[in-house]
Structure 1
C-alpha cells in the first residue's frame, strides 16, 4: 500500500501509470486506456467484496468517472487503483477487429 497526492492505493507504486479513459462494455468488461497509450480489457466481475457489489447494477457500472487517473463510481465511493487494473487486465488490439 502507498499514498500519493493524499490518495491511498493498494499494491506497489508504479510511477506515472494512470487511466486516461474507461469505457464500460457488456458483461462487466471495460476497455481501459492508460497514460502509456496502451488499451487493455478489464473484467470488473472479478472484483470481490462488499465494496464492489454495486458494480453488478448496470446503472452504476455504466457511469464511471476518472479522478486523477483512477476509475471511480458513485461519487468516489468505489474506486480501483490503476496499477490493479493494469496488472489484472489483458492487452486489447483494436486492429484485430
Structure 2
C-alpha cells in the first residue's frame, strides 16, 4: 500500500500528494465535499489545514481519507 509523505492543499479543493513511491499525484476532493463529515471541508480555511499523519491526509476533527483512496482516485502530475 502506498503511503502519503507530503500534502499541499490548493485553492480549488485539490490536493497535491507525494507518495513513498516517489510519485506526485493530484487528488480532487470536490466529490467528497457533499458527503457526511466531509462537508466541513467546504470551508477553504479548514481544507487548507490538511496534514500528513499515519501515512495519509488528515484534518482537524479526526477527518482523514484512506491512503489507498487517495492513490487510486488521483491523477499523476
For the criterion TM > 0.5, the same-fold answer is yes
Matched pairs, number: 76
Map 1:15-94; keep pairs closer than 5 Å.
Answer: 17-47=2-32, 48-75=34-61, 77-92=62-77
| C-alpha separation in 2, matches of 1:54 and 1:66 | 18
Instruction: Classify the secondary structure of the residue corresponding to 2:12.
Output: helix
| C-alpha separation in 1, matches of 2:68 and 2:59 | 17
* Over 3 Å off, 4+ runs: none
| Larger RCO: 1 or 2 (CA < 8 Å, sep 6+) | 2
Question: Gaps spanning 5+ residues in structure 2: where?
Answer: none
Higher Cα Rg, which structure: 1
The answer (yes or no) to whether the contact 2:11–2:44 under 8 Å persists in 1 is: no
| C-alpha separation in 2, matches of 1:89 and 1:65 | 17
Q: Deviations over 1:10-60 (max 9, x none)?
A: xxxx3xx10000101121011100010100000111114111101110111
Q: Structure 1-normalised TM-score?
A: 0.73
RMSD (Å), alpha carbons: 1.1
